Amino acid sequence: MTKGLFITGTDTGVGKTWATVALMRHFKNQGHTVIGMKPVASGCLEIDGKLRNEDALLLQQNASIPVQYEWVNPYAYRMPVSPHLAGAEHPPVLDDICSIFQTLQQNADIVLVEGVGGWRVPLNADSDVSDLARVLGLPVVIVVKIRLGCINHARLTYESIVQSGQACAGWIAVCSDNNMLLREENIATIKAMIDAPLLGVFPFMPEPDFDELSAAFEKTL
């Protein structure tokens, strides 16, 4: 088992956090210690005088061991916009993220890193999400929100990952639209067009049941 995975998505709001927490539960059920990390987050709220991101808090809550928030989410920005804009005055530094990531690796069997937005979202003036995955040296998992347009988004994201020289460990289908036409056919099309395994299919649910979602990986991970 690799020491970690990098979870990206075909867009923002596609279910990366659901997928990351479900993967955390899955690996914990296998007896591994797991920590989740969301290095960069926009759209944070002020709680007790400090900026906090609800997705990062969820990762912190599901870790096998207590981890301070600043290690889970070292770059928290208030504005819900691209990080290179939200953090213009204090941009993410990839070397600093790597240092924290390596510390987390020393404290758990597996570290799952959730990206921000999609694969090519800029983090600062020089780097984007793909650069972060590269410097961390992690295989990439794509989260695909199954909706109209998902085939194009999934193929473009996969092709960009391959062009970046990164290994794609697989993809996860998130069925967010309960009324989508030909949903299974769309999933089958993506499966046929992407040279990476389908790790799991998340059924439609208004609120996440992470124990149920983690069961999606029983046959693949």
Q: What pLDDT is attached to residue 173?
A: 97
Cα distances (angstroms) measured from residue 133 to each of 13, 59, 65, 168, 175: 19, 18, 24, 11, 25
Q: Contact at 8 Å (CB) between 112 and 36?
A: yes
Tell me the pLDDT tens digit for each residue of 72-98: 999 999 999 999 999 999 999 999 999
Contact between 35 and 65 (Cβ < 8 Å): yes
Question: What is the model's pLDDT at position 218?
Answer: 87
The structure's pTM equals 0.96
Beta bridge partners of 9: 143
Compute the mean pLDDT over every residue in the chain, rounded to the nearest whole number.
96
Provide mean pLDDT across the span 169-177.
Answer: 95
DSSP 204: P
Q: Domain 4-217 falls in which CATH fold?
A: Rossmann fold (3.40.50)
Structure confidence at residue 58 as a pLDDT band (50, 70, 90): very high
Structure tokens at 220: 């693949």
What mean pLDDT comes out for the span 9-33? 96
Task: Give the tokens for residue 119.
Answer: 């694969």
pLDDT digits (tens, 9 = 90+) for 92-139: 999 999 999 999 999 999 999 999 999 999 999 999 999 999 999 999
Percent of the chain with pLDDT over 90: 95
- Give CA torsion, residues 128, 43, 58, 76, to 10 deg: 60
Helices (H) and strands (E) in the chain, counts: 9, 10
User: Catalytic positions, please?
Assistant: 38
Q: Does position 40 have pLDDT exceeding 60, yes or no?
A: yes
The domain limits of the chain are: 4-217
Q: Read off the tokens for 99.
A: 């240092």
pLDDT in tens, 156-169: 999 999 999 999 99
For 10-137, strand residue ranges (E) read 34-37, 40-41, 45-47, 50-52, 75-76, 110-114
State the binding site for Mg(2+): 17, 55, 114
Kindly state the average pLDDT of the residues 55-61. Answer: 97
**Binding residue positions:** 17, 42, 55, 114-117, 174-175
219 pLDDT more than 90:
no
pLDDT of residue 2: 56
For residue 1, what pLDDT band results from cuts at 50, 70 and 90?
A: very low
Report in angstroms the alpha-carbon separations of 32 from 3, 27, 38, 109.
10, 6, 19, 6
